[in-house]
Amino acid sequence: MTNLDYPTVSLSMDSAQIEREAAAWLAKRDSGDWGEVEERAFADWQDQSTAHRIAVIRVQTIWQKADRLQALGAGVPRGQIPAPGSWRLSPFVEHGKRSAQPALPVDDSEDLRVKTPASRILKRRALAAALVLGIGAASAWYFVAYDPDSYQSAIGDTKVVSLADGSTVTLNTDSAIHVVLTAAARRIDLKRGEAFFEVAKDPGRPFIVSAAGKRIVAIGTKFSVFRGPLDTRVVVTEGQVKVEEFQADGAVGPVTQLPAGSIAQAGSAGVLVRHSSVAEAETYVSWRSGYIALRDTELADAVAEFNRYNTKQLVIADPSIAEIRVGGNLRAANVEAFVRVLEEGFPVRAEDQGNRIVLTGKASQR
């Protein structure tokens, strides 16, 4: 403690120590010895780390649950005790202003808190601080997932998701993720499709994306992950990530470091990395602005790419044209424009059959 009796800050603190400090802050605030200076110092402490803000939420939640249990044990009429389903988190300071964070159950009974004698408050806070340190596995289920949720995008659409840690995820067409944020790590399971991640810096909580047996680990960076049918593509546009492989026994296999500008294909044979410029890496995520960037791409691969974005599917009926190479930037949703380019610039004929467009070689139509 400092001479102002504020919790100190250590860069090597574990979650238990952070929660002890959060408990000390909250106990001091509820003791009545609290003013504008203390409020600003508390806000600064929370701004230093996402782990600090999460610790405040965790401690408040435990205390409020303890309040409710104590009221039940003291014989308070049930009509005066808030039901768990009606609880909401009381405001806390974040980024210099007070904001209400929904979804975590916290007792909202201000009357009970105001009428509680100071001695009981301090005793209860001391007990709650002990609960924070020793709550253990019996109640760990309650706090494992700070922000568990699933998100998905429709075919032809993109979706931007703002996570509670300050990171942003942009989902490409027909993509799905499951998110679990804890005090120790931020975990994203890419169920299908592709996503671009803009990761908020938090050295104490790695940002981990899992896809098809691979883990992509970052701290603060920008990168995309595409989960394909045969391999996983990782493109890094800022910062650095590492790709880890899982072995059959569950152990972590070889680790590949990817700096900005890296384009990696991770499959059963390992990780193949191509180091390019950041500008070239950016073309791989041009889908965020609605475009498909084709770079000397075989027609079969270009067709597969367009089919990701459109319900009207392209079908190559003539294997002789599958290896024709095409290039350019085209609107992902404008499959008709792509077909016109093929017919005008290549020996390709297209036949619109309603829900699909069949591509053949012009020579085969003679």
The enclosing domain of 334 has a CATH number of: 3.55.50.30
Both 30 and 133 in one domain: the answer is: yes
The DSSP line for 112-175 is HHHHS-HHHHHHHHHHHHHHHHH-TTTTHHHHS-SS-EEEE--TT--EEEE-TTS-EEEE-TT-
5 in a domain, yes or no?
A: no
Position 301 confidence tier, pLDDT thresholds 50, 70, 90? very high
More confident residue, 91 or 227: 227
pTM, to two decimals: 0.61
Give the per-residue pLDDT at 49.
76
Both 244 and 322 in one domain: the answer is: no
Both 185 and 297 in one domain: the answer is: no
Mean pLDDT over 136-155 rounds to 59
Contacts of 9 (CB under 8 A, 6+ apart): 45, 48
What's the domain range around 39?
15-143
Contact 342, 297 (CB under 8 A): no
Q: What is the domain count for the chain?
A: 3
Domain boundary among 266, 283, 300: 283
Closest CA to 193 of 178, 223, 171: 171
Position 97 confidence tier, pLDDT thresholds 50, 70, 90? very low
2 in a domain, yes or no?
A: no
Both 243 and 118 in one domain: the answer is: no
Domain boundary among 78, 108, 143: 143
Neighbours of 328 (CB within 10 A): 14
Both 256 and 305 in one domain: the answer is: no
Domain boundary among 283, 309, 335: 283
Single-letter amino acid, residue 217: V
Give the per-residue pLDDT at 58.
73
Both 123 and 175 in one domain: the answer is: no
Give the per-residue pLDDT at 26.
83
E strands present in the chain? 92-94, 97-99, 149-152, 159-162, 168-171, 176-181, 186-198, 207-211, 214-218, 222-227, 232-238, 240-246, 252-259, 262-267, 270-275, 291-298, 313-316, 325-331, 348-352, 356-361
